[in-house]
Amino acid sequence: MTAPSRHDTAWGTWEPEDAVGRAIRRIDLRSGTASPWAHATMVVPSRGRECWLVTLWDGNVDVWRVDDTTARYEFDSRTRTG
């Protein structure tokens, strides 16, 4: 399997677990606003959906839905830690 490019937003044959250990940021499709880079820590269930638990640079954590139709995700494969 080939790692996604820095700006890869299409999963193709990727699974959400493939993002674990990478830097990720969320880009809102309506406003175009990008979140700060975060670290995808693990895949977790939340309200019946598959989500990433992400750790932000300041130590805060958040849960981002994998199938969020209002956002796209950008990955930096250079940060793979696992």
pLDDT beyond 60 at 21:
yes
Domain 16-79 has CATH 3.30.70: no
Domain range annotation of the chain: 16-79
What would the mean pLDDT of 5-19 be, rounded to a whole number? 66
What would the mean pLDDT of 64-82 be, rounded to a whole number? 83
- Going by C-alpha positions, the residue among 4, 20, 23, 24 that lies closest to residue 12 is 4
Q: pTM for the full model?
A: 0.76
At residue 4, the pLDDT reads 44
Q: What are phi and psi of 43, to 5 degrees?
A: -95, 130
